[in-house]
Every structure is written in structure tokens, then in C-alpha cells.
Structure 1
């Protein structure tokens, strides 16, 4: 009986982080970048029975990605080919530029592409793969192993990207497709089957069309190893917080943005066919800050071009713009987007004659991407990099119909970003830690309050006031919402509207709309009023912290500084209705 050891390596959610550079801050980012991971990946492969995979969401995510998306000599394809990837699968964001761009990229790859729960994609995407590889056994002999590979992505992708997929793509349930594809791979002679699953962990009970289906996948006996993705988490099978939920199949998920990669080391035994008898898992970070010199040469020109483009002014403002206080309703970036969207869609909304609101969110106002990621313009010039920070995803916008009840539910449930607090207690945290800032949608042109003493599931009490033009909106009243197609069609798990309620869809992306708006108005003058207010809660004080990097502090009743150090300022908020000082 012979044994052999395999080394399965997988990157995930690269989001076009090639160089390890923060283009929005115009500074190197030493903790990420495929070029910096390359030497560590190759060290794992030298002299080993190894296979290298990618788990999707590789094509989109940085200004560099936007710049080179339709390239016939794509830099990421060059990098994948140079590193010798054995197979890749697709993630939801790989469709963001449309099928034509995706197909052009895939044709440049040496590696095969697998998508087991998807149809309607380019012919190069296979439902399953069986790859023949010759590996060295522990006794020095050589054996041919047939490696089955399947690929899976969230079914919700067709909803999130409805604007560019145009119903040309169908995506099935992850678990059902995995069973079928694994069985087909076995029938084609696969000794082991590896699942590249662009999905994360979900604590809820397994259900049809589950977005993050790693837990039910890990209980499938037809699989031998699973690489997860999509949710940007770090874990492996033996992690304390996931081990009790996962089945017997080893699972690894290695974050995002080329900050590391996952490794599964199965031992195979021949008796008489080959099968996995044991395994080890590992999470790896880059061992060097030095980019691979050959890969670096590929991207240098494009890298410099993007930096120059992002430094160009696109508009001006009456004062520096900030989103540091977005969690209490003061966000200059959201106000700018709201104004631009309302202006862009005015010809539609005027004709409708309905109460109309614009919806947008902040992608960095909780410091989720590091304290330096807050919006913080230099002086009164708005540069391309500031606009990309405010609107990182250039999704088209649409006008969608809804009702008062649905809008109240939307506002209430997205406010899970904020805590549910106990009245008459001090020093409670303002932020819940249950959701990032980019799921906290904020609305303009309507007046509403958020009552933090109420549950997000009690929509009527959590949002006690919802008015337009000074009059309370009645239940059943029709409204129009201007939002990105991603959010309006359910992106991020928001199911308060659907594509069937679309009244109008723009052909322009939100970032392009804001840029044109700035060009037309000359100078943006952000108002001092908050986007919304808190409902008063007696004798209750909340706390939150901000980095010292902000330049603009709004004058707000009830807001006071209680402590600070070299990097952080701690604030206290008396929970009463917020308004600019003097109102």
C-alpha cells in the first residue's frame, strides 16, 4: 500500500490586489498584494506534490481593476499564468464588468475555469474538471492521481448583477449542484474531489439557494476538501469558532485582498484506489514585502497611470469633506451622492409625482478598512481618488417603487449597524459590531428618526417617525427610491425591493453620475443638517471612538469629547434629537 502527500493551495477574493498599493491613499500597503504572496506560494510548491487554485472575485475591486478591465493582455491573467494556477472558479464580482469582459479575460488564462452551478457563461467554463497529475509517493515511486475540481458561487449573483447579466446566466443551488458535479467527476474517474466554493459560513439552518453554504457542503461525503470565500473571513477546520458546525470535510478560508492564502495538506493512501486518509490545514501570510520582480514588471506602467488619474481634480467643495460622523447622520460623501442621484433622475421622479428618496451608504465610516480609510479630503479640492472612495462601485442606478412599510423595514433592519441600547444607562457603545458601515443605508429627502432603545425587528418602533415634506407618510403609501441596482435588486441581503418593481434604470454608473454633477455645479456646498436624527432616550449616553485624522467636526448638540490619546478620540453622545448647534 502506497501513500502520498498533497499540498492544495488556494487564493480567494483577490479583488485585483496585485501590487499591494492603496490607490485611494496613494501609499503602499505592505500587508497585501499577489505579487508579494508569489514568493510564499512558490516556496510551498517547490519539490511538493502541489496544486494551486483561485476561488473567485479576482477581477474587480481596485482602481487598477477598473483601468484595465477590458485589456487583451490583462495583468492578472499574466500573473495567474506565471504562477502556474491549476484551476480557478468564479465569484459574484467577476461578473461586474459584464460577460464580454469576463470572457475576454478567461480566454487569456492557461488554467481551466470551473463553474458547477452556473450556466450561460462562456464555453471555457466547465461544470467539473478531472485533471491527471503524476505525483511522487512516500516510497519514491510515482503515481497518477486524477483530481476532480468543482466550482460554486452564490445564486444571488444573478440578482446582484441583473443590470449586466440581463437574464443570460442561471445559477443553481450550491449544495445540489455540488452533489451532482462531484458525482460526475467520480464517474469520470476522479480519485478525490476538491470544491472551490465562493461562499462563506452562515449560522442559520441550511436552505434552498443558500448564499453562504460552507456548513452543509462540509457534510457532503462526496467531497474531500473545500476552499471557502466571499465573506472575507479567516478560518480553518480546526478554528475554535467554526469546528463544531463543520462536517468531516476539511475547510479553509483565507480572507481577502491577497493578504494570504489557504492550504490543505491531505494524505492519500492506495487501497486499491486512492483516497484521503488524513489532512492538515494552514493559513499563510506573505513572508516578504518584496514583489516578485517579473510580475512587478508587468504592472508598473498601469500602476503609474492609475496613480496619475486618481490625482486629477474632479470638482470642488466649500469645505473639506468628511464621513467620520456618518454613524450619527453626518456624512458629506452620502450627501453628495444623494444630490447627484436626485438630479440625475429628476425627469423620472417629477413625472411620477411620488414622494422620492435617494439611498446610499458609506463604505468606510466605521474604520472597517483601517482608520485611514475615512473620507478626508485635502482642502476644498475633490480628486478622483476621493470620488472613488465615496463611490467605490460604479453600479448603475435605478428608480424603484416601494411602500411606506417596506421603506421603514429597510431603514430599520439596516440600522443593525447601530446598537440596541437600554434606556437610562450610560457608557453604552453606539456601534453594534454586527454589521459594517456599507450595510447601513442612509436616505435623503425624507425625515426619519432611529430609536436605539427598540429592536431592529420592531420596525414601527425602531423608526417612529417617517415623513416627507413635513407630513407623516401613511401606511400603504407609494414611494420612489433612487438607489444602485446592486442594492435595489437585493445586494447585501437586502430584500425590500426586487427588479420587478423597477420603474427606470440608468445606463450610467453612480460614480460617473456624481462626477458629471460636480462638473455641472462647480462647487459642492454640503449642508450642516443631519441625514436623520435619533429619537430621544432619557438619561442615556453612548460612546464611540474616532481617529484623529478628521478635519471637520460638526457642531452637534449632545456631542462631547471625553478622552483622547495620540491616535484616537473618544466621544460621548447624549441621546436626544441631534441637530446642528443653534437649532
Structure 2
């Protein structure tokens, strides 16, 4: 996909072409391989972009390559590398013995081998702590920039105390249209969503502060110009958003593109592949998808005024190049860099840790209670019960909130958790629980639990009383991975009611009504405890450093054989006979027997369309 627009009339003087290439949201997808399923994943991962990068460079005399963040977290390989780093006390790359064994962090090595010029960290790159990120940035062979998240805010952006460099000027030799060499100074800025302060509160509270991205970018763009930058590129780990976002907005790429002094914007975070061409008052934007799905490209036509020597942009063009399904020479070269870590990850992920008598999957997430959430909730609740055994909260009912993360999202409509009955392998734990969340306990009450469930129930489209027609079960683009079900209570979700008034008959496991003022303990995660996903906040009474995924793995290994059950008594209610439709993966078909779900015959081949009769 290519778009182009001239920005202004070409002035007389030297002309040059600069191609900006970008990747974003790799989430540790270095190879075209799915560790959760132990199978190839063609046209994904950095290796699948390597040949695209080489081709794009061969077409242009002057190129830059940027990494737009969320690089190190996101799959079993990334988590394994960070676990190895913690054991060593440093990242693998700084340990001379490990470097000698050729197990340096492969993402840093591969990105350096591809010639990355600079990077911004994404919000998920803070999941392992500030020190780990700073260590990685210090080892990289290219600079990191972070403009709006700082150690301490000053009176203005110029007085901020940085966590990483607030800006950077690259000096690159370029060749103009006549073959004459010039030195081009490229100013760099990098921003992350300020919500990272909430999402990673355990790592950042009291240690970092944010500044609105437009304010920080406006200040430092002008500072870069004063320092001699010919052009300024903003690496924006955020979605496109609005041209005039709310203060503290998460998606600010369009706003950043309209700031004076900014010439090109790389966007990301939302996992969308899209571009926007330049306008009279806006720089071009490219958002290169996720997981190595696309290479982003912005071509700038530069003109140098002979009387001042200043470069200006006469025209620009944006493009997206999809990843290659077959690796060429460059892809194979990057694969060789990753090979030692890949072998270790596969060996670890195929270790058997137990047996499940019950299949666990997310095929019907939000439509029916799931055994998979039952296992998560059981483990969380047991761990919190033990942690609070000698506390003043020990006699309170302990409830547990759990969700399923793989529910066929927009970046992969067939991404679901699936653990068949039989051996449980370590990779299944990542399939069930892909994020490095830690266990947390909240003290709340019946009102708080009701609000929690009401927030979860927003995913439903609803239906009018008496309407027996077929309609959608879920709202369009509903975040089903944010559907937290609270275990230890029973309730029904009345789909005839508006959002905020759908939870009915909320009762404890003993059958007694959960009164609004009755105190309870809710086992959840550090992510949810900070209000992430829009869930209500409450008093934190316990924080554990343990990953929920590790607790689940230990539970399975200790028991040897598990037989998870849904463990939460909820159901959907509405007009009798109403049929509500949703889509899932065809892999779900064997699990339809014994459920109130029916397959619809007129479904496309890549999706299984189901109806749920109320």
C-alpha cells in the first residue's frame, strides 16, 4: 500500500531522497514460530521482514531503520530471555561467559545486524522493570529515546530528569541526486502512552513521571532544531488517535504529526497496519502492524537551499510492505542469530509438567463459562488464601477474577487458547497465560464486585425485551480479552438491560445474596489492581512478586493430574428463544457437543459462526 502527496513547491538547490523504514510491536517475535502451539507461523517475526528491509534499502540510496517499541515482551522466547537475565543478575548480553556461549540477547543482536538506527521503548518494555530496560538500552548498538516518561518532571520539559535520553541527533552521510555526499542531521523523539504509569505501577510508582506527549514533543522538536537537526522524526508508541486528543491521551500520533518541527511519525501500540499521507499542517504517519506483519516506509524528498544550506521536505510518500512467508538470505541470516535461544526455548516449552483430564480453551469466551478461567481463578484464590492466613482479612470471603487473553483479536482472528485433555506442557502455560502479571489481592465489597462484573458485561451488544430475532452477541470490536469473570459468586447477565445494569441475582457460593456493604477479598493481578482495562480500583491488601503463570504451572506440577471446571455459576439471560450470533475458530467444532451453541451453515471457511439460544 502506497500513498503520496507533495508538501510544497520544490525550491532550487540540491535534492536528495531519504527513506525511513520502521517496525513496531514485535513482542519478541524474532522468528516465524509460535512457541505456544509449537509450530511455524509464516509471515510473522523479524526474520520475515529482514528481506523486505534489504529490498527497501536496495531501492533507495539513503535509508534509516527504526524500532517503535514493545520489542522484548510478548512470547515464550522473550519471557525466557528475561528470566535468564534475572538469574544472572544482568541481561544475558553483559555476562561474558554467556556471550561466549553465543546466547546474547538475540533481539538486540538481530536488530543491530539489520542496522537499526534508533528505538523507542513501548509500554510492555517496562513489564520487567526500569533497570532491565535501561540495561538493554545501554547494551544496544543504537540509541534509545524516551521523551515523555522521565525519572522526575521539572518546571518545563527542559528541566526533566531522564530515564533514557529525551532526544537524540543522528548524523548520517547521504548522497544527493547528483551523487554528492552531505551530512544530514536527523532529530529523534520517542513517546509512550502515559497509561504505562498505571499498567506497570509496581515498577514505576515513585520512580517515574509522565508529561503530555504533545507538550514534550513540541518543546524538544524546537530544541532539536536549535541544535541543528535538519529533520525531526517522532517515534510514537501510540495509535493514531484524534488530531486534538484529550489530555493524557493514549493514542497521539495524529496530534504529534501536527506539531511544528515534526517531519515524520512512526505509530504503533494498537497493532494496526495503516498510513496517513502528509497534509499542509501534518507530517506523514506510518503504523507497521505488529508481530513483524509489516515493514513501514516513509519516503522524503529533500531539497537543500543553496543560500542557507537548510534542508526542507518537498514531498513525501508512505507505504506498507507485508512480511514474506518464505525466508531469503537476510531472513536466514537473522534466523541463525536466533537459533541458540530458539532451541533453548523449544526445549523448555515442550517439557511436560502434568496432565489435565479436562480440555481447556477460549473458543467460547464470553458465551459460556470456561474451564480455563476456572483453573486460573482456583490457583489465584488458593495463593491469596494462604498469603492472608494470619492477617485480619483471613475470615473474609475470597473471590477470584480471571479472564482469557486469546479470544480471536483483530491482529489474529484465529488466536485462541487450546489445551487438549492429556499431557500439559510448559508451552500450554504460556498459551493460557501469556502476560507476566503478578498476583495481587484487593479488599472490596458487594458494590465493588457488582461494578467489576458490570464493567466486564459491557462486551455484549444486548437485545430488546421480547425480541427473538437473531442478533450479535458481542459489541463490534468488543475486547473479549478484558472479560473478567469473578469466581466464588453466582449471577446472571441480563442482556435486555443497558450497560451498568445487567448483573442480577449476585450471590456468594453458599447461596446467600452478596450485600452491597459486605467486605470481600478479590484475588486479581497487578495489572487489574491498577485500574487497567477500566476496572474499578480498591484497597490493595497483598502484593506478590510471583507471576500468575508460574503459580498455575506449580499447581499443575504439584497435583500431577488436574480436572479444571468452570468454577463460576453465571449465565446470560434475555428474551426466551432469542438467538445471538458470534464467531470463533473452526477448531472449536469438536467442543460443541453438550453446549447450547449451534453452528450456522452460511459461515465463511476461515471462521465458525455460532448461535447461542437464550
Give the Å deviation of 1:477. Answer: 3.9
Query: Who is 2:312 aligned against?
Result: 275
Alignment match, 2:56: 44
Deviations along 1:426-473, one digit per CA (max 9) or x if unpaired, are 2212122322321221211112221222232xx1x2223322232333
Measure, in 2, the Cα distance between the counterparts of 1:367 and 1:113.
Answer: 30
Q: CA–CA distance in 1 between the matches of 2:191 and 2:411?
A: 27
| 1:535 is the counterpart of 2:580 | no
For residue 497 of structure 1, report the CA deviation from its aligned partner: 0.8
Q: Is the 8 A contact 1:356 1:480 kept in 2?
A: yes
Deviation, 1:390, is: 0.8
The CA deviation at 1:417 is 2.5
Higher relative contact order (CA 8 A, sep 6+): 2
Counterpart in the other structure of 1:516: 554
Matched residue, 1:547 = 585
In 2, the alpha carbon distance for the partners of 1:495 and 1:318 equals: 33
The answer on whether the counterparts of 1:87 and 1:113 sit within 8 Å (CA) in structure 2 is yes
Deviations, residues 312-346 of structure 1 (Å, cap 9, x unaligned):
12222223223222222321211100000000000
2:286 to 240, 245, 252: 252
Match of residue 27, structure 1, among 34, 39, 62: 39
Q: CA deviation at 1:564?
A: 7.2
Deviations 1:487-518 (A, max 9, x none): 221333x25116xx211101211011111222
- Supply the distance in 2 between the matched residues of 1:477 and 1:247 (Cα, whole angstroms): 56
Query: Does 2:296 correspond to 1:262?
Result: yes
After TM superposition, list the pairs within 5 Å mapping 1:127-138 onto structure 2. 127-138=166-177
Corresponding residue to 2:421 among 373, 379, 382: 379
Equivalent in 526, 545, 549 of residue 485 of structure 1: 526
Q: Which residue of 1 aligns with 2:435?
A: 393
Match of 1:162 in 2: 201
For 2:388 and 2:469, the matched residues in 1 are separated by 44
2:186 aligns with: 147
Q: 2:23 aligns with which of 5, 11, 24?
A: 11
2:145 to 111, 114, 127: 114
How far the C-alpha of 1:476 sits from its partner, in A, is: 4.1
- How much has 1:289 moved relative to structure 2? 1.5
In structure 2, what is the Cα distance between the partners aligned to 1:237 and 1:368? 20
**Structure 1, unpaired ranges of 5+:** 576-583
1:65 aligns to 2:78 (yes or no): yes
Shift of 1:16: 1.1
With over 3 angstroms needed to count, the CA separation of the structure-2 counterparts of 1:450 and 1:205, relative to structure 1, is farther
Change (3 A) 1:422 1:48: farther
- Say if 1:315 and 1:523, in contact at 8 Å, map to a contact too: yes
Distance 1:133 1:186 in 2: 16
Q: Partners in 2 of 1:14 and 1:559 — Cα distance?
A: 36
Residue 103 of structure 1 is matched in structure 2 by 134
1:371 positional shift:
6.1
Residues 250-259 or 434-443, more deviating: 434-443
Are positions 1:331 and 2:331 aligned together?
A: no
1:172-227 per-residue CA deviation (whole Å, 9 max, x = no partner) reads: 22111111111211121112111001011335962221111123222212211111
2:9 maps to which residue?
none
Asked if 1:77 corresponds to 2:119, the answer is no
Give per-residue Cα distances to partners, 1:334-362, cap 9 Å, x unaligned. Answer: 11000000000003556413343211211
Change (3 A) 1:222 1:527: same
Deviates more, 1:427-436 or 1:119-128: 119-128
Question: What is the alpha-carbon distance in structure 2 between the residues aligned to residue 481 and residue 142 of structure 1?
Answer: 64
TM-score (ref. length: structure 1): 0.90
Q: Given the alignment, which residue of 194, 198, 201 partners 2:237?
A: 198
Task: Give the CA deviation at 1:137.
Answer: 1.7
Q: 1:310 to 1:75 in 2, by over 3 A?
A: same
Q: Which moved more, 1:57-66 or 1:366-375?
A: 366-375
Shift of 1:395: 1.3
Q: Structure 1 220/385 Cα, relative in aligned 2: closer, same or farther at 3 Å? A: same
Change (3 A) 1:176 1:371: closer
Q: CA deviation at 1:12?
A: 0.6
Partner in structure 2 of residue 581 of structure 1: none
Contact 2:592 2:598 in 1 (8 A): no
3-state SS of 1:154 partner:
coil
Distance 1:203 1:466 in 2: 39
Structure 1 segments, 4+ long, off by >6 Å, are 121-124, 564-567
Output the CA distance in 1 between the equivalents of 2:205 and 2:261: 34
CA distance in 2, matches of 1:213, 1:408: 33
Question: Per-residue deviation at 1:369?
Answer: 5.9
Q: 1:465 to 1:176 in 2, by over 3 A?
A: farther
1:140 partner SS: coil
Would the alpha carbon gap of residues 11 and 44 (structure 1) be closer, same or farther in structure 2, given more than 3 Å must change?
A: same
Equivalence map 1:182-193=2 (5 Å) = 182-193=221-232
Q: CA offset at residue 266 of structure 1?
A: 1.5
1:152, CA displacement in angstroms? Answer: 0.4
Compare 261-270 and 461-470 and name the one that shifted more. 461-470
User: Does 1:2 pair with 2:42?
Assistant: no
Q: State whether residues 134 and 164 of structure 2, in contact with CA within 8 Å, keep that contact through their aligned partners in structure 1.
A: no
For residue 247 of structure 1, report the CA deviation from its aligned partner: 5.8
Counterpart mapping for 1:343-354 below 5 A: 343-348=382-387, 351=391, 352=393, 353-354=395-396
Tell me: CA distance 1:370–1:259, structure 2 relative to 1, closer, same or farther (3 Å): closer
The offset of 1:478, in angstroms, is: 3.3
Number of aligned positions between the proteins: 563
CA distance in 2, matches of 1:422, 1:235: 37
Pick from 188, 212, 217 the counterpart of residue 173 of structure 1.
Answer: 212
Aligned to 1:466: 506
What corresponds to 1:207 in structure 2?
A: 246
CA shift for structure 1 position 568: 5.1
SS of the aligned residue for 1:37 comes to: helix
Unaligned runs of 5+ in 2: 1-12, 86-91, 94-103, 153-160
Q: Is the 8 A contact 1:215 1:247 kept in 2?
A: no
CA displacement at 1:528 relative to structure 2:
5.8
- The CA distance in 1 between the partners of 2:131 and 2:363, in whole Å, is 39
Question: Match of 1:303, SS?
Answer: helix
In 1, the alpha carbon distance for the partners of 2:406 and 2:227 equals 47
CA distance in 1, matches of 2:350, 2:141: 35
